[in-house]
Amino acid sequence: MAHQIHVCYTAEDGRGASALSDIHALGKSGKGVENVTLTDTYTTEVKLSTVDLKKAADALHTPLSQTVAIDKPLGPTEFSYAVEVGFLPGVTDNVGATAKETIQDVLKRSFKDGEMVFFSRIYFLEGKITKQDVMHIAESLHNPLIQRVKIKSFAQYKKERGMGTTLPKVKLPAGKVSLVDLYVSDEELAVLGKKGVKNADGTHRGPLGLGIDELKAMRSYFHRKGRLPTDVEIEALAQTWSEHCKHTIFANPLDEITEGIYKRYIKQATKDVRKKKGKDDFCVSVFSDNSGVIKFDKDTYITHKVETHNSPSALDPFGGAITGIVGVNRDTIGTGLGAKPLLNIYGYCFADPADKTRLFRDKDKTEELLPAKRIMDGVIEGVNVGGNQSGIPTPQGFTYFEPRYRGKPLVFVGTIGVMPKTVKGKPSCEKQARSGDYIVMVGGRVGLDGIHGATFSSEALDSGSPATAVQIGDAITQKKFSDAIVKEARDQGLYSSITDNGAGGLSSSVGEMAEESGGCEVWLDKVPVKYPGLAPWEIWISESQERMSLAVPKSKWPAFKKLMEARGSEATVIGEFTDSGKCTVRYNDEVVLDLDMDFMHDGNPVHMLESKEVAPEVTAPTDATLRKHERKMNKTLLSMLARANVGSTEFISSQYDHEVQGVSVTKPLHGRGRVNATASVSRPHTDTKKGIVLSQGLCPSYSDLDTYHMAASAIDQAIRNAVAIGADPEHIALLDNFCWCSSDKPERLYELKRSAEACYDYAVAYEAPFISGKDSMFNDFKGFDTKGRPVKISVPPTLLISSIAVIEDVSKSVTLDFKHSGDLIYLLGDTNAELGAGEYMAYLSGEEKKEYTGEHVPEVDAKANRALFKKYHRAVEKELVASGVALDRGGLGMTLLKSAIGGQLGAAVNLKRMGGQLTNTERLFSESNGRILATVAPEHQAAFERTMKGSSAERIGVVADTKEVLIMNGKEGIAELSLSSLTRAYRSKFKNS
Amino acid sequence: MKTKANVLVVSGYGLNCEEETLRAFTQVGCKGDIIHLNDLIETPGILKHYNILAFPGGFSYGDDTGSGRAYGNKIKNNLKKEILAFVKRDTLVLGICNGFQILTQIGLLPGTLLHNEQARYIDRWVDVKVESDSPWLKGIKEVSLPIAHGEGRYYIDEKGKKKLENEKAIVGRYIKGEIANWSLLSANPNGSLDDIVGVTAFEGRVLGMMPHPERAISFLQLPHWTYLKETEYRGEKLPSEGSGLRMFKNAAKYFA
Mean pLDDT on B132-154: 97
**Quick check: A672 and B117 CB within 8 A?**
no
Chain B residue numbers with beta carbons less than 8 Å from the beta carbon of A654 are 122-124
CA-nearest residue to B181 within chain A is A672
Distance CA B128, CA B145 (A): 8
Is any Cβ of chain A less than 8 angstroms from the Cβ of B176?
A: no
| pLDDT top residue among A652 and A459 | A652
Domain containing residue A112: 3-159
Q: Domain with A129 in it: what CATH number? A: 3.30.1280.10
For residue A603, is it within any domain? no
> Quick one: how far is CA A862 from the chain centroid?
29
Residue range A295-328, pLDDT digits in tens: 999 999 999 999 999 988 998 899 999 999 999 9
pLDDT for residue A467 = 45
Nearest to A18 among B118, B124, B220 (CB): B118
Confidence of residue A92 (pLDDT cuts 50, 70, 90): confident
In a domain, A551, yes or no: no
- Answer whether B73 sits within 8 Å of A666, measured CB to CB: no
Among the listed residues A255, A336, A349, the one whose alpha carbon sits nearest the alpha carbon of residue A310 = A349
**Site from A23, A55, A61, A64 to mutate, B interface, most B CB atoms within 10 angstroms:** A64
Residue A321 CB-density burial (10 A; 0-12 exposed, 13-18 middle, 19+ buried): buried
Nearest CA of chain B to the CA of A473: how many Å?
Answer: 11
Q: Helices then strands (H, E): number in chain B?
A: 9, 11
Is the distance from CB of A499 to CB of A348 less than 8 angstroms?
no
Cα gap A827→A931, rounded to integer Å: 7
Last residue of a domain, which of A93, A125, A159? A159
In contact, A438 and A556? CB cutoff 8 Å: no
**Residue A486 confidence (pLDDT):** 95
Give Cα separations from A492 to A555, A559, A661, B67 (angstroms). Answer: 13, 10, 23, 33
How many domains, chain A?
2
Helix-helix angle A623-630:A839-848, to 10 degrees = 90
The yes-or-no answer on residue B115 being catalytic is no
- Helix (H), strand (E) at residue A148: strand A147-153
Q: Which residues of A touch B112 (CB under 8 A)?
A: 11, 62, 64-65
* Nearest CB partner across the interface for A566, out of B38, B69, B114: B38
Window B:126-165, CB contacts with A under 8 Å: 146, 148, 150, 153, 155-157, 160
Q: What is the mean pLDDT of residues B51-63?
A: 97
Scanning every residue of chain A, which has its alpha carbon at the shortest distance from the alpha carbon of B110?
A64
User: What is the per-residue pLDDT for A398?
Assistant: 98
pLDDT band for A52, please (50, 70, 90 cuts). Answer: very high
- Where do the domains of chain B lie, and which CATH numbers do they carry? 6-254 (3.40.50.880)
- Residue at which a domain ends, from A135, A159, A183: A159
Whether residue A241 is contained in a domain is answered as no
State mean pLDDT over A263-280: 97
pLDDT band at A465 (very low <50, low <70, confident <90, very high): very low
The three-class DSSP label of residue A197 is coil
DSSP A663-699: -BSS-SEETTTTEEPSEEEE-SSTTS--EEEEEEE--
Q: Is residue A494 predicted with pLDDT exceeding 70?
A: yes
Contact criterion met (CB < 8 Å) for B65 and A11: no
pLDDT digits (tens, 9 = 90+) for A216-259: 999 999 999 999 999 999 999 998 888 777 788 999 999 999 99
Closest by Cα among A439, A538, A504, A517 to A237: A504
Any chain A CB within 8 A of the CB of B43?
no
What mean pLDDT comes out for the span A381-389? 96
Which residues does chain A have within 8 Å of residue B178's beta carbon, measured at their own beta carbons?
none
pLDDT at position B142, please? 97
Q: Which of A479, A480, A936 to mutate to test the interface with B (most CBs of B within 10 A)?
A: A479
Among all residues of chain A, which has the CA nearest to that of B227?
A819
Taking the Cβ of residue B111 and every Cβ of chain A, the question of whether any pair is shorter than 8 Å is answered with: yes
Contact A18 B119 (CB under 8 A): yes
Asked whether residue A897 carries a pLDDT value surpassing 60, the answer given is: yes
Residue B253 CA to residue B230 CA, distance in Å, equals 34
Residues of A in contact with B59 (CB under 8 A): 388-391, 475-476, 479
Q: Work out the minimum CA distance from B102 to partner chain A, whole angstroms.
A: 12
Shortest CB distance from B215 goes to which of A9, A659, A814? Answer: A659
- From the list B203, B201, B232, B206, the residue with the least C-alpha distance to B219 is B232
Residue A162 carries which DSSP code? S
* Contact state of A15 with B119 under an 8 Å Cβ cutoff: yes
Strand partners, A575: A439, A522
Query: Phi/psi at A792 (nearest 5 deg)?
Result: -125, 125
What's the confidence (pLDDT) of residue B113? 97
Read off the pLDDT of residues A116-129 as tens digits, 9 standing for 90 and up.
999 999 999 999 99
- Rounded CA-CA distance B90/A623 in Å is 80
Q: Is residue A268 part of a domain?
A: no
- The answer to whether residue A886 sits within a structural domain is yes
| Average pLDDT of the residues in A454-468 | 50
Assigned domain for A222 exists:
no
Contact A672 B182 (CB under 8 A): yes
Bridge partners for A121 per DSSP: A40, A85
Closest C-alpha to A120, from A72, A71, A70, A84: A84
Instruction: For chain A, give the percent of residues with pLDDT over 70.
Output: 98
* Range B57-77 average pLDDT: 96
Interface test with A, best of B15, B37, B59, B65 (most A CBs within 10 A): B65
Interface of B with A in 62-101 (CB under 8 A): 62-66, 69-70, 73-74, 77-78
How sure is the predictor about A461, in pLDDT bands with cuts at 50, 70 and 90? Answer: low
> Which of A112, A132, A159 delimits the end of a domain?
A159
A509 forms beta bridges with none
* Terminal CA-CA length for chain B: 8
The residue of chain A nearest to residue B192, with distances taken between CA atoms, is: A12
CATH number of the domain encompassing residue A965: 3.90.650.10
Closest CA to A900 of A975, A809, A811: A975
pLDDT at A455 over 60: no
* Residue A862 located in a structural domain: yes
- Interface test mutation site (partner B, options A120, A121, A389, A481, max chain B beta carbons within 10 A): A389
Of residues A841, A924, A869, the one with CA closest to residue A718: A869
pLDDT tens digits along A631-686: 999 999 999 999 999 999 999 999 999 999 999 999 999 999 999 999 999 999 98
Q: Residues A58, A102: contact at Cβ < 8 Å?
A: no
Q: What confidence category does residue A466 fall into, taking pLDDT thresholds of 50, 70 and 90?
A: very low
Alpha-carbon gap: A979 to the closest alpha carbon of chain B (Å): 14
CA distance B122 to B100: 17
User: What is the predicted pLDDT for the residue at A176?
Assistant: 86
- The catalytically annotated residue of B18, B97, B115, B149 is B97
SS (H, E, C) chain B: CCCCCEEEEEECCCECCHHHHHHHHHHCCCEEEEEEHHHHHHCHHHHHHCCEEEECCECHHHHCCCCCHHHHHHHHHHCHHHHHHHHHCCCEEEEECHHHHHHHHHCCCCCEEECCCCCCCEEEEEEEEECCCCHHHCCCCEEEEEEEECCCEEECCHHHHHHHHHCCCEEEEEECCHHHHHCCCCCCCCCCHHHEEEEEECCCCEEEECCCHHHCCEHHHCCCHHHHHHCCCCCCCCCCECCCHHHHHHHHHHCC
Give the model confidence (pLDDT) of A929-985 as tens digits.
999 999 999 999 999 999 999 999 999 999 999 999 999 999 999 999 999 999 999
Question: To the nearest whole number, what is the mean pLDDT of chain A?
Answer: 94
Calculate how close chain A gets to B63, using CA atoms only, in Å.
Answer: 8
The average pLDDT across A745-774 equals: 97
Active site includes B165?
Answer: no
Distance in angstroms (rounded) separating the CA atoms of residues A937 and A223: 77
The pLDDT value given to residue A453: 54
Q: Which of A62, A97, A101 sits opposite B66 (nearest CB)?
A: A62
pLDDT by residue (tens digit) across A181-201? Answer: 999 999 999 999 988 998 888
B97 is catalytic: yes
What is the value of ipTM here, to two decimals? Answer: 0.97
